[in-house]
Structure 1
Amino acid sequence: MRLVLREAREAAGYTQLDVAEQMEWSLSKVIRIENGDVTIAPNDLRPLLNYLNVKDRAQVADLLATAKIARTRQRQAWYQKPEFREYLTDGLRRLIEYETEATSMHSYSLFHIPALLQIPSYSKALIEKWRDEISEEQRHFRLEARRIRREAVLQRIGSLRMTALLDESVFMRAEGGPGIFADQLEEILRLEEQRLVSIRMFPFSADAALSYNAGFDILFLGSEEEESDAGDKVNAVMYRETGTTDEIVEDKAVTTRHFARYRKLWEAALNEDETVDFVRKRIRELR
């Protein structure tokens, strides 16, 4: 929804301030709607679409229906409850919303097992390292959010395709100690062997340039094949974080460049069977 509204505004040549003045809204309201921080009421959407010259009846009807569903979903969404809103970043809440709509998700990590593949004990071991910077309440709700996200995403496997590309250092860094990390690797094996996720390891010996962008997740909202023919339309978004910030990136050029890099590294990595063999050997070492 918000991507469609932003594209329509840009196609019409209007700024966010133009929209705010025309609709008699605050500029912050327009920004929050386009950022996905708030939904838009159908009664507000009708005049906005008219102003943006969106006149196709079928498209208008679809957008109005989507707005109604989004308003209901946002009121009911677990991550919009006060306790979660207080402790989850804006970027993470937007990521969770995209996870409910994504058709495919690709995770690249240099340091840790991706969040949606983590077992609770591994997640706790990671977040406890930040206890001097993150309060106990925040750690609790972030761990709970990660658990809920994981369950929701794994239930969608079939309609959702997931891949994960992990640097060899991820498998060598025994977060939580040998026992916990071995359990985490057992879970990686389960996910791969049940075809829930396709996982490849990028080995130290690989003859390819390693990405220096740290970790990122790319989520497609439609067919990946459509991305190259989508013009300026955004068909994918990227989530990335550092130790202090996180963000959702919706710029098509940026997401396209990162996904091209992901695919290049994916082809240079060990295949799934070779990765499974490595993980089994690593588990034996840890046990």
Structure 2
Amino acid sequence: MDPRPGGAPTVLRMVLGKRLQDLREKAGLSFEQAGRALDVTHATIRRMEKAEVGLKIPYVEKLLTTYGVTSTEEISGFLALCREANRPGWWHNFRDVLPEWFSAFVSLEGEASVIRAYEPHYVPGLLQIPSYAGAVLRAGQPNATAEEIDRLVTLRIERQALLTRAEAPLLWVVMDETVLRRPIGGRAVMRDQLGALIEATEAPNVRLQVIPFTAGPHPAMYGPFHIFRFQVKEIPDIAYTESLVGGAYFDDRDDVSAFLEALDRMCAQAAPAQSTKAILDGMRKEI
């Protein structure tokens, strides 16, 4: 899944792409046949269905009629959803500092019903306090200006609003003990950050687990990742990994299953979520 062409894919755009695929298959048409109806390549049809490009209204309208949709009301309703899906998300205001490849992450994060993650290095962004976030961002982007760092911190904090909204997602994070031992931003910042994590354990939709050093090796020592799950049945689970130069998204069932299996094994190795508050409190007292 490549989020770059046409901007970050929203969940609605992914749903509509899947519906276009279902209509094409129901009509018994191949990618090539659908492409000929628009005078475009088969790759364009494929990318529309995979939400890798924006949904051009004239293209969609022509495809609907090609697929046998004759109801004016149904076509109008579908096109209205396309216009909504193509509308930039709230994070578009941060496009001056937000990489396109991460825009997709923010979009998926905002629509997920369950967010699961493994983090071996830092407190996850959704749980960071501003001073901690600033220290992490400055370390990761040493060439960024102070203004750019401030903008990124603001974006990170605004993302956290999803945890307290109505029908907030479940956030289930497994953190390596290293996350809590690595000094970031100084003693005062770490104490405040650990205090914020202790408060987070009280939230009904937040589940935190810590993998202690004593647990030994585990299946995901190669790096951090996220898994997003959605209530919309058309959208499969999506896994995300990140590197120094970009992010990678996986929606193939076998690929995502590998991430899920690794995370389930780590949850079994980690300390139970019920003990996380006591672990955090003990570490906070050590600082």
What TM-score results when the alignment is normalised by the length of structure 1?
Answer: 0.79
Aligned to 2:14: 2
* Alignment-mate amino acid for residue 40 of structure 1: L
Aligned to 1:256: 257
Query: Could you list the runs of 4 or more consecutive aligned residues of structure 1 that deviate by over 4 angstroms after TM superposition?
Result: 9-15, 17-21, 25-38, 54-63
Q: For residues 169-207 of structure 1, give each alpha carbon's deviation from its aligned partner in whole angstroms, at most 9, with x where no partner exists.
A: 111112111110111111111111132411001111226
CA shift, 1:139, in A, is 2.6
Checking the alignment, whether the CA contact within 8 Å between 2:17 and 2:51 is kept in structure 1 is no
Task: Work out whether 1:122 is the aligned partner of 2:122.
Answer: no
Once the two structures are superposed, the pairs formed by residues 63-102 of structure 1 within 5 Å of their partners are 63-71=78-86, 74-75=87-88, 77-81=89-93, 84-102=94-112
Counterpart CA distance in 1 for 2:223 and 2:275 is 24
* Alignment-mate amino acid for residue 107 of structure 1: A
* Alignment-mate amino acid for residue 277 of structure 1: A
Return the match for 1:45 from 60, 66, 76: 60
Counterparts in 2 of 1:3 and 1:179: CA distance versus 1, 3 Å? same
Checking the alignment, whether the CA contact within 8 Å between 1:37 and 1:90 is kept in structure 2 is no
* Alignment-mate amino acid for residue 208 of structure 2: I
Secondary structure of 1:241's aligned partner: strand
Q: For residues 185-244 of structure 1, give each alpha carbon's deviation from its aligned partner in whole angstroms, at most 9, with x where no partner exists.
A: 111111111324110011112266341331111110128xx7xxxxxx652112221122
Aligned to 2:272: 271
Counterpart CA distance in 1 for 2:273 and 2:140 is 33
Secondary structure of 1:253's aligned partner: helix
CA shift, 1:116, in A, is 0.8
Once the two structures are superposed, the pairs formed by residues 1-287 of structure 1 within 5 Å of their partners are 1-2=13-14, 5=17, 8=21, 14-15=30-31, 22-24=37-39, 33=48, 36=51, 39-51=54-66, 53=67, 55=69, 63-71=78-86, 74-75=87-88, 77-81=89-93, 84-151=94-161, 153-156=162-165, 158-206=167-215, 209-222=218-231, 234-286=235-287
Checking the alignment, whether the CA contact within 8 Å between 2:115 and 2:170 is kept in structure 1 is yes
Unaligned segments of structure 1, at least 5 residues: 227-232
Q: How many residues matched? A: 270
* Alignment-mate amino acid for residue 44 of structure 1: Y
Aligned to 1:229: none
Secondary structure of 2:281's aligned partner: helix
Checking the alignment, whether the CA contact within 8 Å between 1:109 and 1:165 is kept in structure 2 is yes
Counterparts in 2 of 1:161 and 1:130: CA distance versus 1, 3 Å? closer
Counterparts in 2 of 1:143 and 1:260: CA distance versus 1, 3 Å? same
Checking the alignment, whether the CA contact within 8 Å between 1:234 and 1:252 is kept in structure 2 is no
Secondary structure of 2:111's aligned partner: coil
* Alignment-mate amino acid for residue 249 of structure 1: F
* Alignment-mate amino acid for residue 228 of structure 2: L
Secondary structure of 1:113's aligned partner: coil
Secondary structure of 1:69's aligned partner: helix
Counterpart CA distance in 1 for 2:142 and 2:130 is 20
Aligned to 2:6: none
Checking the alignment, whether the CA contact within 8 Å between 1:104 and 1:220 is kept in structure 2 is yes
Counterpart CA distance in 2 for 1:20 and 1:138 is 43
Report sequence identity in percent: 19
Counterpart CA distance in 1 for 2:90 and 2:85 is 14
Cα RMSD after superposing both structures:
3.2
Aligned to 1:230: none
Counterparts in 2 of 1:251 and 1:213: CA distance versus 1, 3 Å? farther
What TM-score results when the alignment is normalised by the length of structure 2?
Answer: 0.79
CA shift, 1:44, in A, is 3.2
* Alignment-mate amino acid for residue 171 of structure 2: M
* Alignment-mate amino acid for residue 194 of structure 2: L
CA shift, 1:63, in A, is 4.2
Further displaced range: 155-164 or 23-32: 23-32
Unaligned segments of structure 2, at least 5 residues: 1-12
